[in-house]
Amino acid sequence: MRHIPNLKDLTTAELESILAKAAEIKANPQEFRDLLQGESLAMIFQKTSTRTRVSFEVAMTELGGHGIYIDWQTSNFVLSGIEYETEYLSRNVSCIMARLLYHSDLTKIIAGSQVPVINGCCELYHPCQALTDVLTMMEYGDISSAHLVYLGVQNNVSNSLSILCDKLGIKLTLATPEVTDNGESFDIDVQEIIRSSSFVNHTTEPRDAIQTADFVYTDTWIDMQYFNDPAHETEKRAKLEQMMPYQINAELLNGLSCKIMHDMPIHDGFEITPDMVRDPRAIIFQQAENRLHAQKGLLWWVYQQAS
Ligand code: CP
């Protein structure tokens, strides 16, 4: 049995097999409609979600299994110990996916679980998103010669992209402000990858980085749980001002043929302008659709390890 807290423990060959299977299932979904017959996935959410919830639930349905949505606030996770609720869950379901505020809670779920646990996004990692992103890039040719430029803030998404690109040998440039070790998403292993990897590097200068980009990618500048929080209004305004040079807009991408990526949800006029979302170079909705297909590849691998 293998858990997916991040992508650090997976080998290059294992990651390639997940991505290849995701592409295979996407091309021939009917062949896999009984793959997880009789299996149930518990999907625990402390945070909001559209894509993670829908893609995992539809993936289970289309693979012959069943996804059960569990809202943390209306479940007894709010009343009891995580380890007790998880031990119960893992006697009634065969896999758990959890979207949690803090990785420390995911670690508790893994400790209490007798079935595989998948991280559906926490403050440190978003492994399912990174797999989706590379699956999408693969649809445009050989990823070993592609250059991905991530514009914005270093966060859970860029952490998982850094881990994955380093393992798969994909050139990734993070064009972001400098990172300090007091940030919520600071991960010492990821910073070591950025420092020493032949494939992943960092710059504070977005304009230089995008000149050779095949894909430019952005994500929210403000963590999702803080976006509409009045208590974070001052911090949010300061962050938005600092981040404007990293915005994906027509002027920044003028004359470039790179594909435009965004993991969604989109904050119009912040990390990207609305015209760029609908630009012919944008592959954002194809990328979002691929959450479903990447999830299927990941579920195939996780269940295969557990059997
Ligand atoms: N990209 C992503 O994880 O989307 P949701 O927050 O809607 O699940």
pLDDT tens digits for range 274-302? 999 999 999 999 999 999 999 999 999 99
Distance CA 300, CA 30 (A): 14
Please determine, for residue 210, whether its predicted confidence score (pLDDT) is greater than 70: yes
Nearest CA to ligand 1 atom 6: 49
Residue 48 lies in a domain: yes
Please determine, for residue 46, whether its predicted confidence score (pLDDT) is greater than 70: yes
Confidence of residue 223 (pLDDT cuts 50, 70, 90): confident
pTM higher than 0.85 for the full model? Answer: yes
Mutate to test the pocket of ligand 1, among 47, 69, 264 (most ligand atoms within 8 A of CB): 264
Please determine, for residue 224, whether its predicted confidence score (pLDDT) is greater than 70: no
Please determine, for residue 19, whether its predicted confidence score (pLDDT) is greater than 80: yes
Amino acid at residue number 6 = N
Cβ distance 281 to 257 under 8 Å? yes
Q: Is 99 in the pocket of ligand 1 (CB under 6 A)?
A: no
Residue 100 lies in a domain: yes
Residues 151 and 106 in one domain: no
User: What is the average pLDDT value for the chain, to the nearest integer?
Assistant: 96
Residue 7 lies in a domain: no
Residues 227 and 245 in one domain: yes
Please determine, for residue 226, whether its predicted confidence score (pLDDT) is greater than 80: no
Residues 165 and 244 in one domain: yes
Region 204-210 average pLDDT: 96
Residue 151 lies in a domain: yes
Please determine, for residue 144, whether its predicted confidence score (pLDDT) is greater than 70: yes
Beta strand residue intervals within the chain, DSSP E: 40-45, 66-71, 95-99, 117-119, 147-151, 171-175, 200-203, 215-218, 259-262
Mutate to test the pocket of ligand 1, among 46, 51, 292 (most ligand atoms within 8 A of CB): 51
Region 1-9 average pLDDT: 96
Distance CA 163, CA 125 (A): 10
Region 26-36 average pLDDT: 98
Residues 299 and 262 in one domain: no
Predicted pLDDT at 252: 98
Contacts of 100 (CB under 8 A, 6+ apart): 44, 46, 47, 106, 109, 122
Task: Please tell me the distance between residue 227's alpha carbon and the centre of ligand 1 in angstroms.
Answer: 14
Residues 240 and 145 in one domain: yes
Residues 86 and 162 in one domain: no
Residues 94 and 153 in one domain: no
Mutate to test the pocket of ligand 1, among 48, 49, 129, 222 (most ligand atoms within 8 A of CB): 49
Nearest CA to ligand 1 atom 3: 52
Q: What is the CATH number of the domain that holds 261?
A: 3.40.50.1370
Predicted pLDDT at 234: 84
Please determine, for residue 236, whether its predicted confidence score (pLDDT) is greater than 90: no
Mutate to test the pocket of ligand 1, among 69, 159, 263 (most ligand atoms within 8 A of CB): 263
Region 106-117 average pLDDT: 98
- Using one digit for the tens of pLDDT, what is the confidence trace for 47-90? 999 999 999 999 999 999 999 999 999 999 999 999 999 999 99
Overall domain count for the chain: 2
Interior/surface letters 237-275, b for 16+ CB within 10 angstroms, e for the rest: eebbeebeebbbeeebbeeeebbbbbbbebbeebbbbee
Interior/surface letters 72-110, b for 16+ CB within 10 angstroms, e for the rest: beebebeeeebeebbeebbeebbbbbbbbbebebbbbbb
User: Which domain, by its residues, includes 274?
Assistant: 141-282
Taking the CA of residue 52 as reference, the ligand 1 atom at the shortest distance is 8
Structure-token match 């297909």, residue found: 293
- Using one digit for the tens of pLDDT, what is the confidence trace for 156-200? 999 999 999 999 999 999 999 999 888 999 999 999 999 999 999
Q: Is 262 in the pocket of ligand 1 (CB under 6 A)?
A: no
Residue 2 lies in a domain: no
Residues 152 and 261 in one domain: yes
- Using one digit for the tens of pLDDT, what is the confidence trace for 264-278? 999 999 999 999 999
Confidence of residue 15 (pLDDT cuts 50, 70, 90): very high
Predicted pLDDT at 297: 98
Task: Please tell me the distance between residue 255's alpha carbon and the centre of ligand 1 in angstroms.
Answer: 30
Closest CA to 306 of 65, 130, 107: 65
Taking the CA of residue 264 as reference, the ligand 1 atom at the shortest distance is 1
Percent residues over pLDDT 70 in the chain: 99
Residues 71 and 145 in one domain: no
Closest CA to 58 of 270, 306, 296: 296
DSSP structural state of residue 101: S
Residues 155 and 232 in one domain: yes
Nearest CA to ligand 1 atom 2: 51
